[in-house]
Structures are given as C-alpha cells and as structure tokens.
C-alpha cells in the first residue's frame, strides 16, 4: 500500500503535472486574511490535515481496489478487465491508463532488479507478453515508456530520445489495436512535447484526437503544454488556444475552464502585478470555470481538478463564499493542481482551506450559514 500513496499523488504527471514541475513556481506564498488561525475548519466537517488523501483529486474506488490487487498479486488481469470495461472516449480511461503506467514505473524505480531480484512492474511485462493484442496493455506500456523518459532521462539526450521513440512506436501499435480509441494519441502528445514535433506534425496528431474525442479535457490540457513549450511559454498563444477551446465547448463541458489553466501556467510572468487576482483576465477565467463546474455532470472525472484550481484562485481573489463552496465538494482529496506542486500537498491545501474559512467568517459567514 505504501507505493499507492506515492503513485496517486503523481497520478496526473504525464498529462498535467510534469510541465509545471519542471518550472517550479513560488506560487504558495502565505497570504493571510484576518487571523486565519482563529477559524477552525473542523467546524465545517472538513477532515483533519493528516487524513487528507493525496493520491487523487477525487474518489475512484474501482481503480484503487484494482491497483492494490495488481500490486499485491503481480497479476495484470484485473487491470486488463477494468480497462476493457472503461469507455474509450471518456476521461476515466485515460486517467486509469496513466495510473497503471505510473504504478509500474514507480515499482521499477523502487525495485530495478538484479541477479536475484525480479524488477518492479513485472506484471506489465507479463501482460504485454501474454496479451500482445490487448489494446489496454499496449496503451499502458506506451504511457509507461513516456513516463520513464520524463522521470529518468534529460530531454535532448540520446537516452531520452531513444525511450521516447519507443513510446511513439508503442503508441502506434496501441492505435492499430483500437482504431477508435483516443488514448494512444493522447499519450503521443507527451511524446510530441518531448521530441519537439514540428507544428504540422503536431497538428496532424491533434486532428486525430479531435476526430475521436473533440471535447476531451485531458487532451486539451496536454496540448496546451505543447504550445507553451513550443513557443517558449508564449502567454498570448496559450490564452488563444485555451479561449478557443472554451468557445467551442458544448453545454456541460469543462473545457470552459481552460482559460483558468492557461492563466495558472503563466503565473510567474504576472504574479507580481498588484491586484492581479482581481484583474479582468483572471476574473473572466474564474467566471468561465465557475460556469463550467455548475454545468458539468456531477460524475465528470475532471470536475475535481477544476474545483481544486478554482479554490486556489478564489482564495487569492478573496472570494471567500465561493471558495467555501468548492471546499464542500473537494475536501478530503488533494491529489490535484496546485497542491501536488508541493512536497507536502496536504499541508498546502490545508493552508488555503484555513484561509478560506478565516476569510468567510471575517465577512459574516459561519457553519450555520454554509451548511444550514
């Protein structure tokens, strides 16, 4: 079980976190409203800091149960069965592929193997050997390779390029095994970033994703990172991409929250501007994200991700009541941006939670008014 706590804290690395981690931000300076220590989050039914679950942004009990079983027994079949029963076009399959790949990668990191030791992640090797035509196994293997490249090699080196080329080849195999599945192409977005695909090649890949899952939030976040890196972190191009995605978003889609992620991506450039969090750019992005969460399905797998980022911005903007509303929905799980950028995600989340409670109570709020 110990590895799971590490794994799920890093669950979204290849999709969301790696680009941010490589550009570590000084983003959580303490901004204290009036006497935050005077307010007690426990009065609102919030869980204690030491009980916050850092593995994931929200619950996926089926995934956790299967991960525990696979790692305990080293038998891949439960993972194969779970993926086979998960809708290909949705966000959940993509997240679960990343989770299984991350589990194998972290096992290998802990147990690299030797003369008398079986290397970690052996269940993935057995999966690929016994079920070479299983699309789920091929996708997990491709994602495993991409994560290995980012975690163990330096971009631009021969080792990095060799692993990424193998990941690219495995993406192609996975795509042939499941032609309608967008996941192999989503994995290739990480490869495209690592190998610095030229723009025409990237756009061809992006069209394949749009043909299969045009409103996939995870795909758009991964593409946002490509554009930011391709053009040296151009804020204008990132905002343009995010705002175009939001404009195309159908009713109920969380793509309307994309501009908020674009703003977050470029915080180092603007974080020193006084009143930035009340500025028109941020206010518009917050409103778009609030509209998205209010319109989204309650079971949308990306909903918790948006709520966590909203909490960060709403606290910074001193919009205490709206911040408390996000807390009611997400408290208990902290495996999401921005908390996972910290060495102690639970502590960072707890700071913002305390600030939200203190600001809320300083402006007349109370447990009775929020929960009653």
Q: Residue 257: its pLDDT value, please? A: 96
Q: Residue 8: its pLDDT value, please? A: 44
Task: Say if residues 282 and 314 touch (Cβ distance below 8 Å).
Answer: no
pTM of the shown model:
0.83
Q: Residue 360: its pLDDT value, please? A: 94
Confidence of residue 115 (pLDDT cuts 50, 70, 90): low
Helix axes 122-130, 135-152, angle to 10 degrees: 140
Say if residue 76's pLDDT is above 70: yes
Say if residue 37's pLDDT is above 80: no
Average pLDDT value for the chain: 85
Q: Residue 158: its pLDDT value, please? A: 95
- 3-state DSSP call for residue 251? coil
Say if residue 20's pLDDT is above 90: no
Higher pLDDT, 26 or 89: 89
Task: Say if residues 222 and 190 touch (Cβ distance below 8 Å).
Answer: yes
Say if residue 3's pLDDT is above 50: no
Contacts of 297 (CB under 8 A, 6+ apart): 252, 303
Mind listing the pLDDT tens digit for each residue in 274-285? 688 888 989 999
Q: Residue 275: its pLDDT value, please? A: 83
Mean pLDDT of 321-329: 95
- 210 class by beta-carbon count within 10 Å (0-12 exposed, 13-18 middle, 19+ buried): middle
Higher pLDDT, 369 or 231: 369
Mean pLDDT of 52-58: 84
Confidence of residue 192 (pLDDT cuts 50, 70, 90): very high
Q: Which of 84, 104, 180, 182 is nearest to 146 (CA)?
A: 104
| Cα–Cα distance, 358 to 361 (Å, whole number) | 5
| Cα–Cα distance, 23 to 205 (Å, whole number) | 26
Confidence of residue 268 (pLDDT cuts 50, 70, 90): low
Task: Say if residues 225 and 196 touch (Cβ distance below 8 Å).
Answer: no
Q: Which of 218, 233, 148 is nearest to 185 (CA)?
A: 218
Confidence of residue 18 (pLDDT cuts 50, 70, 90): very low
Domain ranges of the chain: 61-213, 215-372
Q: What is the dihedral of CA 140, 145, 150, 153, to 10 degrees?
A: 160
What CATH number does the domain located at 61-213 have?
A: 1.25.40
Mean pLDDT of 304-310: 96
What is the maximal distance between C-alpha atoms in the chain? 66
Q: Which of 9, 225, 219 is nearest to 106 (CA)?
A: 9
Confidence of residue 273 (pLDDT cuts 50, 70, 90): low
Task: Say if residues 253 and 280 touch (Cβ distance below 8 Å).
Answer: no
| Cα–Cα distance, 16 to 168 (Å, whole number) | 19
Confidence of residue 269 (pLDDT cuts 50, 70, 90): low
Please give the distance of CA 269 from its chain centroid, rounded to a whole number. Answer: 22
Mind listing the pLDDT tens digit for each residue in 203-248? 999 999 999 999 999 999 989 888 877 655 567 778 888 999 999 9
Higher pLDDT, 81 or 240: 81
Mean pLDDT of 331-356: 92
Higher pLDDT, 103 or 1: 103
**Phi, psi values for residue 25, rounded to 5°:** -100, 150
Task: Say if residues 304 and 343 touch (Cβ distance below 8 Å).
Answer: no
Confidence of residue 22 (pLDDT cuts 50, 70, 90): very low
- 3-state DSSP call for residue 254? helix
* Secondary structure E strands in the chain: none
Confidence of residue 41 (pLDDT cuts 50, 70, 90): confident
- 339 class by beta-carbon count within 10 Å (0-12 exposed, 13-18 middle, 19+ buried): buried
Higher pLDDT, 366 or 306: 306
């Amino acid at each position: 079980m110990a590895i799971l706590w590490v794994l799920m804290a890093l669950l979204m690395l290849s999709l969301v976190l790696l680009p941010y981690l490589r550009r570590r931000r000084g983003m959580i300076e303490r901004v204290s409203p009036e006497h935050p220590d005077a307010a007690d989050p426990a009065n609102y039914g919030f869980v204690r800091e030491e009980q916050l679950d850092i593995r994931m942004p929200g619950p996926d009990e089926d995934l956790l149960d299967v991960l525990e079983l696979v790692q305990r027994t080293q038998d891949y079949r439960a993972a194969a069965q779970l993926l086979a029963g998960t809708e290909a076009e949705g966000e959940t399959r993509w997240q679960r592929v990343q989770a299984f790949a991350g589990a194998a990668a972290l096992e290998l990191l802990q147990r690299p193997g030797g003369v008398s030791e079986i290397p970690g992640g052996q269940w993935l090797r057995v999966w690929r050997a016994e079920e070479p035509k299983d699309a789920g196994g091929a996708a997990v293997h491709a994602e495993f390779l991409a994560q290995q490249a980012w975690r163990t090699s330096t971009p631009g080196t021969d080792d990095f390029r060799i692993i990424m080329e193998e990941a690219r080849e495995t993406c192609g195999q996975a795509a042939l095994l499941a032609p309608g599945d967008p996941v192999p192409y989503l994995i290739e977005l990480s490869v495209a970033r690592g190998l610095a695909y030229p723009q025409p090649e990237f756009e061809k890949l992006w069209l394949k994703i749009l043909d299969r899952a045009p409103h996939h939030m995870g795909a758009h976040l991964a593409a946002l990172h490509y554009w930011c890196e391709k053009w040296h972190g151009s804020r204008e191009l990132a905002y343009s991409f995010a705002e175009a995605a939001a404009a195309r978003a159908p009713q109920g889609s969380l793509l309307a929250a994309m501009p908020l992620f674009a703003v977050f991506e470029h915080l180092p450039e603007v974080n020193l501007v006084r009143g930035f969090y009340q500025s028109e750019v941020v206010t518009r992005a917050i409103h778009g994200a609030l509209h998205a969460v209010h319109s989204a399905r309650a079971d949308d797998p990306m909903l918790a991700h948006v709520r966590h980022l909203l909490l960060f911005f709403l606290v910074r903007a001193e919009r205490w009541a709206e911040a408390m509303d996000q807390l009611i929905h997400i408290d208990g799980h902290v495996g999401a941006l921005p908390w996972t950028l910290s060495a102690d995600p639970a502590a960072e989340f707890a700071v913002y939670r305390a600030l939200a409670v203190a600001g809320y109570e300083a402006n007349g709020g109370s447990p009775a008014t929020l929960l009653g």
